[in-house]
Structure 1
Amino acid sequence: MKGYDYFDQSQFERVNFESEKELLIAVSNGVVKQGIIAKKSAMYWSKVLNQEVIFGATHSKAPLVFRMHKHLKPYKHRIDSAIDQVKRDGTLERIIYKYINE
């Protein structure tokens, strides 16, 4: 994905796409043989595009990190608290379930 860094990206030929949707379309159309995408994102786009996805080996596991513009720094604590809350109360899992399974 454009803008993403992969720890061993010098070991493979990199082709950048603007979105995960475009990546899945490129794989399904044979533009590229395979891609690196988060499993839940692939499941969502597979459903939306009605395209079968076959998962290979996991490339890497890393926490999701958000970058914020400096002018938003005063809101960091509130945003972190909101993220913690939706994880704790099950809202995050309900959202993921809705987009992947319904």
Structure 2
Amino acid sequence: MLSFRPLLVISWCIFSLLTATPLAAKAAMPDAEVILNYNVNASNSWYPYYIAQTPEAPGVLGEIIPKILALANIKSRKHNFPPKRTNQALEKGFLDFDVVSPSWFEEKQLADTFVASNPIMPIMENIVVLEKNQQRWQRLSQIKGRNIGTVRGYLYHDDNEFTRVDFKSERELILALHKGRIEAAISGDYPALYWAKELNLPISLAAVHSSGDLVIRLRKEHIALLPAINQAIQTLKDSGELQQIIDKYTLATP
């Protein structure tokens, strides 16, 4: 994003804290329990993946990630950091995971310090334009050297090829398109269509910018947790619960 998504894709991030114990107790308990502290804080709301300030309907990932952690029997503690702070924490290695799509990265490769879970769900982003400009943006190569609307803190695998014009959220991207501040933006299809509908500001989805799957990007020091995380993802898929959550936020109400 997410590329469309927070650098921490909705900013889904965590840092681990060892349970506080006296030094003598730690010596007697070398395998002290790890609590994964995670942050759920998008730039605004990352519909339908994360929706801020609506605990009864927090979005697809807002519901799925806690279920994965619970099924994997991984204890967690939720925080609410601003994007800048979470980004810095990830860079410095204080965060343990976020939710990303490998398609957002150059050559679809994560850094060597991370491992990826099995796919959670598909994700796609497009070049987003006004309806009158759709035919002019049918090739991805057209973004080269241009000013392109992006979301502050989001990952874009090719942002060396265009000039980023950062905004706070996908909502602000749609407003900027209609105000003529930018001619094209990069956004996930669901967030762009959602905000266009909410704001009553029509847009068109042009060339596909990236497509892939969302995964949990886990720091390698926690690789031992990966099998349990993957099993939890598979359990949610096999039970149909994961698809039910996705449908709840992405299918039109009859």
TM range (shorter): 0.5 to 0.7
Give how far 1:85 is off: 5.7
Give how far 1:41 is off: 1.1
- 1:45-64 equivalences in 2 (<5 Å): 45-64=195-214
Q: 2:182 aligns with which of 24, 27, 32?
A: 32
Residue type matched to 1:13 in 2? T
TM-score, with length taken from structure 2: 0.32
TM-score, with length taken from structure 1: 0.68
2:172 corresponds to which residue? 22
Distance in 1 between residues matched to 2:191 and 2:241, nearest whole Å:
17
Unaligned stretches of 5+ residues in structure 2: 1-150, 219-225
Distance 1:34 1:85, change over 3 A: farther
* Structure having greater relative contact order (Cα 8 Å, sep ≥ 6): 2
Distance in 1 between residues matched to 2:238 and 2:196, nearest whole Å:
28
2:72 corresponds to which residue? none
Unaligned stretches of 5+ residues in structure 1: 69-75
Aligned pairs, number: 101
1:42 corresponds to which residue? 192
Give how far 1:64 is off: 2.5
Structure having the larger proportion of residues in strand? 2
Query: Do residues 3 (structure 1) and 153 (structure 2) align?
Result: yes
Give the secondary structure class of the aligned counterpart of 1:15: strand
- Percent identity (aligned): 39
Structure having the larger proportion of residues in helix? 1
| Structure 1 moving runs of 4+ over 4 Å | 65-68, 76-100
